[in-house]
C-alpha cells in the first residue's frame, strides 16, 4: 500500500516582505543614515563657515540663495548616485554566496517575484532614509522643491539600481562591478562622444551617466548657463539612462530564470 504524498505548502510572498524590510532596516538603513548624515553635516558646516566669513560682502549676500541651492545639490547628488548602490548591493549575490537561497526557496516560491519584491522593498527603504535625511537637513537649511527631489531620487534609483540588479544576478561582486561600469561609462562618453569613425559608437554601449547628472541641477533649480533662468529638465538623457536601467533590471530577471541560484 502506498501512502499519497502530501502537497507542499507554498511560501507566502508578502510575509517575506516583512523580513526583507527588517533586514534593510538593520543592515542598510542605519548605516545609510549615519554615512549620508555625516556628509550632509559637513556640507552644512562648510556653508555656515562661509556665511560667517563673508557676511559683510554684498556680492556674497546677493548670491547666498544660489550657494545654498548648490550646497543642497551636492548632498542630493551624492545620495541619488551612491544611495541606490548602497541600498541594492548584494540583493541577489549575498543570498547565493551565503547559501541563503537553500532556505529561502525550501518551499515553492518564484525567485523572480521574490527578488522583484525585494527591489521594491529596498526602493521604499531608500525613500524612507531620504525622508529622514531631508528632515534633518531642512532643520538647518531649506531643501528646495520636494516634488523635484522625489522625482530625482526615483530616477536615480531606477537608473543605477537596474544596473546593480543585473550585476547582482551575474556576480557576487555586484557593487564593485557596478561602480567600475559607471566609471567606464563616464570615461567612454567623455572620450568618444565627439569621435569619428567606428569609435563614435562606443559610448552608445553605456548609459550617459555624466549627462544624467543634469538632473541634480534641475532638482536644485540651478541653471549652469544662466543663473537668472530656471533649470531645464534633461528629458532626452533621463529617458535614455532610465530606460537603460529598466532594461538591465529585466535582463537581471531573465538571468534569474536561466542561471541556477544553487550550485550543484
Each of the 264 residues of the chain gets a pLDDT tens digit; together they read 454 544 555 567 888 888 889 999 998 999 999 999 888 888 888 877 776 766 666 666 556 667 777 888 888 999 999 999 999 999 999 888 888 778 777 777 888 999 999 999 999 999 999 999 999 888 887 777 889 999 999 999 999 999 999 999 999 899 999 999 999 999 998 888 888 888 888 888 899 888 888 898 898 888 777 777 788 888 888 999 999 999 999 999 999 888 777 664
- Please check whether residue 7 lies inside any domain of the structure: no
- Please check whether residue 263 lies inside any domain of the structure: no
**pLDDT tens, position by position, 191-228:** 888 888 888 888 888 998 888 888 988 988 887 777 77
Residue 195 DSSP label: -
- Please check whether residue 88 lies inside any domain of the structure: yes
What contacts 25, CB < 8 A, 6 or more positions away?
125
Q: Are 67 and 103 in contact (CB under 8 A)?
A: no
- Please check whether residue 57 lies inside any domain of the structure: yes
Domain span holding position 77: 14-258
- Please check whether residue 6 lies inside any domain of the structure: no
Helix then strand then coil, % of the chain, to nearest 5: 75, 0, 25
The rounded distance, in Å, linking the Cα atoms of 161 and 168 is 10
The rounded distance, in Å, linking the Cα atoms of 111 and 131 is 30
**pLDDT tens, position by position, 64-100:** 667 777 888 888 999 999 999 999 999 999 888 888 7
Instruction: Give the pLDDT confidence score for residue 264 in this predicted structure.
Output: 45
The 10 Å CB-count burial string (b at 16+, else e) for 142-155 is ebbeeebbebbbeb
The rounded distance, in Å, linking the Cα atoms of 262 and 174 is 17
The number of domains in the chain is 1
Amino acid at each position: 500500500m502506498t501512502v499519497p504524498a502530501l502537497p507542499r505548502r507554498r511560501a507566502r510572498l508578502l510575509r517575506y516582505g516583512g523580513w526583507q524590510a527588517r533586514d534593510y532596516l538593520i543592515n542598510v538603513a542605519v548605516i545609510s543614515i549615519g554615512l549620508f548624515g555625516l556628509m550632509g553635516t559637513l556640507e552644512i558646516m562648510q556653508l555656515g563657515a562661509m556665511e560667517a566669513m563673508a557676511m559683510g560682502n554684498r556680492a556674497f549676500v546677493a548670491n547666498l540663495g544660489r550657494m545654498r541651492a548648490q550646497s543642497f545639490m551636492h548632498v542630493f547628488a551624492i545620495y541619488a548616485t551612491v544611495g541606490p548602490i548602497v541600498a541594492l548591493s548584494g540583493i541577489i549575490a549575498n543570498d547565493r554566496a551565503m547559501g541563503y537561497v537553500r532556505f529561502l526557496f525550501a518551499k515553492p516560491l518564484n525567485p523572480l517575484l521574490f527578488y522583484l519584491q525585494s527591489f521594491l522593498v529596498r526602493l521604499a527603504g531608500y525613500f524612507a532614509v531620504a525622508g529622514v535625511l531631508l528632515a534633518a537637513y531642512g532643520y538647518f537649511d531649506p531643501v528646495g522643491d520636494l516634488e523635484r527631489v522625489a522625482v530625482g531620487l526615483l530616477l536615480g534609483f531606477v537608473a543605477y539600481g537596474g544596473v546593480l540588479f543585473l550585476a547582482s544576478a551575474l556576480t557576487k561582486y555586484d557593487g564593485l562591478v557596478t561602480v567600475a561600469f559607471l566609471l567606464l561609462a563616464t570615461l567612454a562618453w567623455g572620450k568618444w562622444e565627439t569621435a569619428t569613425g567606428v569609435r563614435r559608437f562606443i559610448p552608445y554601449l553605456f548609459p550617459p551617466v555624466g549627462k544624467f547628472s543634469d538632473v541634480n541641477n534641475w532638482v536644485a533649480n540651478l541653471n549652469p548657463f544662466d543663473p537668472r533662468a530656471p533649470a531645464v529638465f534633461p528629458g532626452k538623457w533621463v529617458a535614455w539612462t532610465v530606460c537603460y536601467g529598466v532594461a538591465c533590471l529585466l535582463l537581471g530577471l531573465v538571468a534569474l530564470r536561466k542561471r541556477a541560484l544553487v550550485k550543484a
